[in-house]
Structure 1
């Protein structure tokens, strides 16, 4: 008989017509057994429990990211339900791929995080957005948090910053850097638009920042100590 884990939504014990995979921890084995049980009723109950777990993860991840102010209220919950439903479908389709290298819920967690990223990325491009090529360097002071009271001081820095971006970055680095730093486009949206992944964009932005800072330091626009912070 199955028993629900009240704290985490998991299954602590289960019986199934199928033998659990060897080497799985008890909770993971119970999830696999229930989700692949010969009884349709048992499977549906397990699907419902797993969907609830995935929905909590999706809601939490959307709150954590919360970078797009256009996504609010019921729309956030709708995206969470979409992500949880699609993640559940992916988990059940790939259930035989689960080898127990991590707990089952940790394995399933990855699916819902990927779905949240995809949903956020596609949602961004549904609304009216500025073209990626439309650069507005006048917005840079706000992005960098520069004090308007010291405009005469930072205008030279902004000019040097733009010159460094033009001179030291590759075409790809410049495109990504401008999109993230100048245009403020969320990483998830760029992942969808450019068919890439968050790690690739992170690395490109990191390398670009390092090159731009080095140029600013070399030309005396930024001291080395500030560049390392």
Structure 2
């Protein structure tokens, strides 16, 4: 049985196609019925995720929670239609589709949490995690100091702002893109370039010699 958030998902109605991929691929009345049916299932999955993340009526109000769920379902539907060719049939189609709804609902809730909030794009406070071993804490503190220094000396101001917002403050990438007047692909490129610079310098300084060679 397909489940969403640990609970049984609603059973498809009589309008649900036997072959979802075929129905969604061929323009016409059958495709329109399949899209309506699928969208309803996606709204259900998205609404469950919104509530699971604490974004339900108690936090945003019922109307806002429904808006988030419907927004996520709309975006998930577009993504699914664009990736129909990747469905391999290893699971039920609805199980595969629900994952899109859950992902987009999670993004919508995180984005909603940042609406109206100020994003601090300057300054960084890195604190080493406390450890029962003084030697380990000293090493972590030294690494934190090094990373803080490299952020100032190796990255451009724009790269530094993006790294701090995405990796430290965990600002949703779509929210940051909107605030900076750019797009997510450009931010991914900036983040990749910045991480590569930091990785090379940390490796040169010997910090990654015994580690995995990657940054968070």
**Please, what TM-score do these two structures have when normalized by structure 1?**
0.57
Provide the rounded CA distance (Å) in 1 between the counterparts of 2:11 and 2:103.
Answer: 21
Aligned length, in residue pairs: 194
Provide the rounded CA distance (Å) in 2 between the counterparts of 1:189 and 1:215.
Answer: 30
Other-structure match for 1:3: none
Provide the rounded CA distance (Å) in 2 between the counterparts of 1:228 and 1:170.
Answer: 22
Provide the rounded CA distance (Å) in 1 between the counterparts of 2:167 and 2:76.
Answer: 35
Shift of 1:164: 1.0
Tell me the secondary structure at the aligned position of residue 17 of structure 2.
strand
Other-structure match for 1:204: 190
The alignment status of 1:52 with 2:40, answered yes or no, reads yes
Provide the rounded CA distance (Å) in 2 between the counterparts of 1:118 and 1:223.
Answer: 36
Q: 1:141 aligns with which of 127, 137, 156?
A: 127
Shift of 1:155: 2.8
Other-structure match for 2:66: 81
Computed over aligned residues only, the root mean square deviation of the Cα atoms, in angstroms, reads 4.8
Q: Is the 2:203–2:213 Cα contact (8 Å) retained in structure 1?
A: no
Other-structure match for 2:121: 132
**Gaps spanning 5+ residues in structure 2: where?**
1-9, 88-92
Shift of 1:203: 3.7
Q: Quick check: which has more Rg, 1 or 2?
A: 1
Provide the rounded CA distance (Å) in 2 between the counterparts of 1:50 and 1:153.
Answer: 53
CA separation of 1:169/1:88 partners in 2, compared to 1, >3 Å: closer, same or farther?
A: closer
Tell me the secondary structure at the aligned position of residue 116 of structure 2.
coil
**Please, what TM-score do these two structures have when normalized by structure 2?**
0.59
The alignment status of 1:191 with 2:177, answered yes or no, reads yes
